Amino acid sequence: MADKSSSNAYWSANIRIIMTCMVIWFVASFGFGILLRPMLSGISVGGTDLGFWFAQQGSILVFLALIFFYAWRMNKLDAEHGVEE
């Protein structure tokens, strides 16, 4: 295992990335899809509004992007800290 300080830096960098992703996860689904929908009602998408689109499709696409971003970013972080497999 890498030394303690490097390992701590790796872990806190990971936590930061996770937190950022979780904020986006929350905003795209619970935010745009549910709570903020009334605020987005002015933006129309195919016969309805943006909030409806986020609830039925947009959130899923954002989830996909998040998971692939996380996998890519963490593989890079692993290499930077020399903890890759």
Partner 1 sequence: MDQFTLNMIFVGGSFALYIGIAIWARAGSTAEFYAAGQGVHPILNGMATAADWMSAASFISMAGLIATVGYGNSTFLMGWTGGYVLLALLLAPYLRKFGKFTVPQFIGDRFYSQKARMVAVVSLIIISVTYVIGQMTGAGVAFSRFLEVSSDTGLYIASTIVFIYAVLGGMKGITYTQVAQYCVLIIAYTIPAIFISLQLTGNPIPGLGLFSTHIESGLPLLTKLDQVVTELGFAQYTTLNSSMFNMFLFTLSLMIGTAGLPHVIIRFFTVPKVSDARWSAGWALVFIALLYLSAPAVGAMARLNVISTIYPQGTQADAVLYEERPDWMRNWEVTGLLKFEDLNGDGRIQFYNDKNEGFAATATERGWTGNEFTYNNDILVLANPEIAQLPGWVIALIAAGGLAAALSTAAGLLLAISSAISHDLIKSYLNPGISEKGELLAARISMAGAIVVATWLGLNPPGFAAQTVALAFGLAAATIFPSLMMGIFSKRINAWGATLGMLAGLVVTCAYLFTYLGMFFIPGTNLLEPVAANYLFGIPPASFGPIGALINFGVAYIVSMMTAPPPKDVQDLVESIRVPKGAGAASSH
Q: How far is the CB of 41 from partner 1 (least distance, A)?
A: 10
Q: How far is the CB of 44 from partner 1 (least distance, A)?
A: 9
Give the torsion through C-alpha atoms of 60, 66, 68, 19, to 10 deg: -150
> Applying CB under 8 A, which residues contact partner 1?
1-2, 7, 10-11, 14, 18, 21-22, 25, 29-30, 33-35, 37, 45-49, 52-53, 55-57, 59-61, 63-64, 66-68, 70-71, 74-75, 78, 82-85
Which ranges of 27-58 does DSSP label H, i.e. alpha helix? 37-40, 50-53
